[in-house]
Amino acid sequence: MPRPRPPLTVATAVVALAAVAFGAVACSSGGAHKAAPARVVPPEVQIPAGPVDVARAGAGGDFTDAQAAEVRDTVARYLSGASVEPFSRSAPPSGLETVFTADALTAATGVDRAALTDADLPGPTATPKLTVAPVAITALLDANGAPVYASATIDQQLEAPVAGGIVGVRRAGDLVLEPCAAPGCPDGAFRVRAYSILVQRTLPDGTTTTTAVKK
């Protein structure tokens, strides 16, 4: 049985009449002003934890869960600032100074921009679908048990409708990170110093494959 509707008060009646009047004015304008397109909300970047392997130059030391989490956090910032946010918002890459070392940043946003970022793709008309495979980490510790490098795998897929078709991105490869020694780095932070990336893109007018290697 349908629930009874509450009585219409004077206040709600005035609001309802105002809404109708406003709608009538809007309709009578003849559509002179088009509504702005809905803003696309980027998907949240979540990095599933994969296996962590440790190679040691000495007998002691370990790569802690906190250090592995710092590596995954850097990977998340990379995918967000270089791929997901720029593609979703049709905007330049951002925040990558907290991802790469100075030397690697120059390459990633310069000669390797096409492989490392998705800033120059057609803008999506809906929130992209993002899939990220578990990130496997291999850490190298020095003779004193301190981390020297950590490599992290990347396997990312991004897909969204655009005007004229669908854009699909598949990015796979490895990032090599080192403990951040730059001024202002948070304790325990890692930065990407090298990478090997292959990206395949399916666009409305064809398919492209781009690679980049920074040693």
pLDDT tens for each residue of 8-42: 333 333 333 233 332 333 333 334 333 334 579 99
The size of the chain, in residues, is 215
The CA–CA distances, whole Å, from 100 to 32, 83, 114, 117, 188 equal 47, 15, 16, 13, 15
- Say if residue 58 is exposed, middle or buried (CB neighbours under 10 Å; 0-12, 13-18, 19+): exposed
Q: What does the alpha-carbon distance between residue 92 and residue 106 come to, in Å, rounded to a whole number?
A: 15
Task: Express the helix, strand and coil content of the chain in percent, nearest 5 each.
Answer: 25, 35, 40
At residue 109, φ and ψ (nearest 5 deg) are: -100, 5
- Res. 1: pLDDT tops 70: no
- Res. 6: pLDDT tops 80: no
> Under DSSP, is residue 50 helix (H, G, I), strand (E, B) or coil?
strand
Cβ atoms of 89 and 180 closer than 8 Å: no
- Res. 4: pLDDT tops 50: no
Per-residue pLDDT averaged across 56-84, rounded? 96
